[in-house]
Amino acid sequence: MLTRKIFIAGNWKMNPGTSEQAKALAKAVREGVGSASEVEVALGAPAIFLSAVSESLNDSPIGLAGQNMHWAKDGAYTGETSASMLLDSGCTHVILGHSERRHGMGETDEQVNRKLKSALEAGLYPIVCIGETLEERESDRTESVVAGQLTGSLAGLSPEEMNKVVLAYEPVWAIGTGRTATPGQAQDVHAFIRRTLAARFGEKTALIVKIQYGGSVKPDNAEELLGCPDIDGALVGGASLKASDFLGIIEAGRKVSVAR
C-alpha cells in the first residue's frame, strides 16, 4: 500500500508585520522541527519576506511557499510576482486559488489553471485550494462545487503533472472562523476528491496526490483530522503564526505518521 507522507503547510497570509518578525517565526519553527523527516513542512510567507525567510530556513528540510503568483513569465503586470521570482526568492512551493483570492479578489478556476501550469513548468510544487461556501454546503452542492473547481483548476494536466500537485480542501466556512469541519465531514469530501482524481487521472495518480485539509486546524483538533485515511496533511492559517501551535500540529502529524 502506498503511504503518502503527511504535509503540514503554514499560510501566514498578510502577516507578520516586519521581516524581523517573519525571520524569528521561521527560526522558531526551524528549531522546533530540527532534522525530523517524518512530516513534510512548508511555510507560506508574504512575497516581500520570502528571501529573508529563505535565509532563516537555509539547510533545513522546511519548504517555502509563495501565497500567489502570476501565470506570465514577465511583463507589464504591476504588483505581480512570477514563478521564476518565487524560485529566485527560495520558494519550493506556491499556494494557488486560496479562497481569500477566489472570493476576495475574484480569482477564477481558469486563472488558477493558468497559474498552475506556469508553476509546474517553472518547477514549483503547487498547493491548489478548493472548497465550498456555507451556502453551497447548506444547499447540498458541496460535491458539485468541488468537482467543478477540480475540473476547471486542473484542466489539461497529465497524470505525471498531477502527481506533483498538492490539493488543499478548505471549506470556506471553516477558514479563520474557529469552526472546523468534523473529521467525518472532511473525510467524506477528501474521499470524493480522490475518487474524482481516479476517474480523471487514473487510480495510481489518485493514490499519489496529497490532499491537505484546511480550516481552523489547531493543535487540539489536528490529530483527529490527520488520522482520517484520505487526509494527508493540513494547510494552516491562524495557528501557523504562533510557532508553538504550528509545532503542535506538526507533532500531531508525526504521531499519525508513526501510526500509519
Q: Cα dist. 148→137, 152, 162, 196 in Å?
A: 14, 6, 17, 11
Answer yes or no whether residue 170 interacts with ligand PEP by CB under 6 A: yes
Q: Least Å distance between CB 136 and ligand PEP? A: 17
Q: Which SS3 state, helix, strand or coil, does residue 89 take?
A: coil
Distance, CA of 108 to CA of 212 (rounded, Å) = 21
The yes-or-no answer on residue 251 being catalytic is: no
Q: Which of 98, 100, 107, 136 is catalytic?
A: 98
When binding is defined by CB under 6 A, the residue of 126, 214, 219, 233 that contacts ligand PEP is: 214
Residue 6 near ligand PEP by CB under 6 A: no
Question: Residue 243 and residue 31: Cα distance in Å, rounded?
Answer: 10
Q: Which stretch binds ligand PEP (CB under 6 A): 33-41, 66-74, 78-86, 212-220?
A: 212-220
Q: Is there binding between residue 132 and ligand PEP (CB under 6 A)?
A: no
Nearest to 43, CA basis, from 215, 224, 247: 247
- One-letter amino acid of 35: S
The contact mask relative to ligand PEP for 183-202 (x = CB under 6 A, - = no) is: --------------------
36: cell is 525530523
Site for ligand PEP, residues 221 to 240, rule: CB under 6 A? 235-239
Between 8 and 206, CB nearer to ligand PEP: 8
What is the DSSP track for 5-19?
PPEEEEE--S--SSH
Residue 170 known to be catalytic: yes
CB of 186 to ligand PEP, least distance (A): 12
State which residue, 93 or 206, has the beta carbon closest to ligand PEP: 93
**SS3 track for 38-82:** CCEEEEECCHHHHHHHHHHHCCCCCEEEECCCCCCCCCCCCCCCC
| DSSP string of 111-155, one letter each residue | HHHHHHHHHHHHT-EEEEEE---HHHHHTT-HHHHHHHHHHHHTT
Task: Kindly name the residue from 40, 107, 170, 251 that is annotated as catalytic.
Answer: 170
Q: How far is the CB of 221 from ligand PEP (least distance, A)?
A: 11
Residue 45 vs 217, nearer CB to ligand PEP: 217
- Write out the residues near ligand PEP by the rule CB under 6 A: 11, 13, 170, 175-176, 214-217, 235-239
